Amino acid sequence: MNLITSSIGQGLLWALLGLALFLTFRILNFPDMTVEGTFPLGAAITVTAITKGASPLMATFLGFLGGAAGGLITGLLYTKGNIPILLAGILVMTGCLSVNLRIMGGSNVSLLGQKTFFSAKIFQSLPRYFDSVLIGGGTIILITILIALFLETDLGQAFIVTGDNQMMARSLGINTDNMTILGLTLSNGLVGLAGALIAQNNGYADANMGIGIIVIALASIIIGEVVFGYLTLNQRLIAVILGSIIYRFVLLIVLQLGFSTNDLNLISAIILAICLMLPKLRHALKLDGILRKGVSQNGK
């Protein structure tokens, strides 16, 4: 019981990362490696700010701004500096490591005994793990509504068109460079926010906490798409959130079944690969069905 609640809470918190990557990976249509740097950046800024006496709300907002700054730099490198997007992201991600060490003054800063969102009094009376469910859920609902509203605006529509077809977007008079910069800034701001919340939930920030997180974000996007099928844009945002929760369930099941944790990365890679191949597999299976029908008809 408890563990399922905890998985839901974790899924909701990590869903922020999925939504952030959805903006760049699915809407703008390019892979943004910056996130592995801006995620610990958001965490580092927030945790350091809290230990220096800032309120959790203020610290979390600073984490968001830090992530956004990282995304802005990637965007500028890509559009103004003509550096390929993958490389620009990797450059900023690499640079972030040093910045994070400077901010934290070391490789690990602890939050134990400090005031965070999760240490608020209201959560003490609730059952365990409801703190992450409520904070994760509240944040994710707010952010999803904001993203949905943004995508409805003229600016948001121009943003979508930029990802769909750059040539057409330019012919419509949209400044695609600005749209790309906007997207990267916004997306990495959300990544910084995710880092800020998850660091508070974990109780520490660590220089190495960004390793492998891009896989988690991709997993939520892809699992959501595969499980829930064809959807409108707003529904796809929700699918990402649910995908993130399902990914946590899968991890929970793998752990509960007693697999060696050495194999965990391989198992999540296999699950993702299966999800990615599912459309193809379905196709192949349908073909099998037709073949079988054909054979039985011939048999008659």
| Positions that interact with other proteins (CB under 8 A) | 1-8, 10, 14, 94, 97-98, 101, 106-108, 110-113, 126-130, 133, 198, 201-204, 206-209, 211-213, 216, 227-229, 231, 235, 238-239, 242, 245, 248, 251-252, 255-256, 261-262, 264-265
Rounded to a whole number of angstroms, the minimum distance from the CB of residue 106 to other proteins is 6
Q: Which is nearer to other proteins, 76 or 239 (CB)?
A: 239
In whole angstroms, the minimum distance from the beta carbon of 34 to other proteins comes to 17
CB of 41 to other proteins, least distance (A): 13
The pair of three-digit structure tokens given for residue 164, joined into one six-digit string:
């769909």
What does the alpha-carbon distance between residue 34 and residue 92 come to, in Å, rounded to a whole number? 6
Of 181 and 251, nearer to other proteins (C-beta) is 251
CB of 115 to other proteins, least distance (A): 13
**Minimum distance, C-beta of residue 60 to other proteins, in the bound complex (Å):** 17
Which lies closer to other proteins via its Cβ, residue 28 or residue 111? Answer: 111
CB of 21 within 8 A of CB of 217? yes
Complex with other proteins: residue 161 or 254, whichever CB lies closer: 254
Q: For residues 158 and 237, which CB has a smaller minimum distance to other proteins in the complex?
A: 237
CA dihedral defined by 34, 37, 42, 44, rounded to 10 degrees?
-170
Instruction: Kindly state the smallest distance separating residue 292's Cβ from other proteins, in Å.
Output: 27
Q: Which is nearer to other proteins, 183 or 236 (CB)?
A: 236
Q: What is the closest distance, in whole angstroms, from the C-beta atom of residue 218 to other proteins in the complex?
A: 13
Q: Among residues 22 and 129, whose Cβ is nearest to other proteins?
A: 129
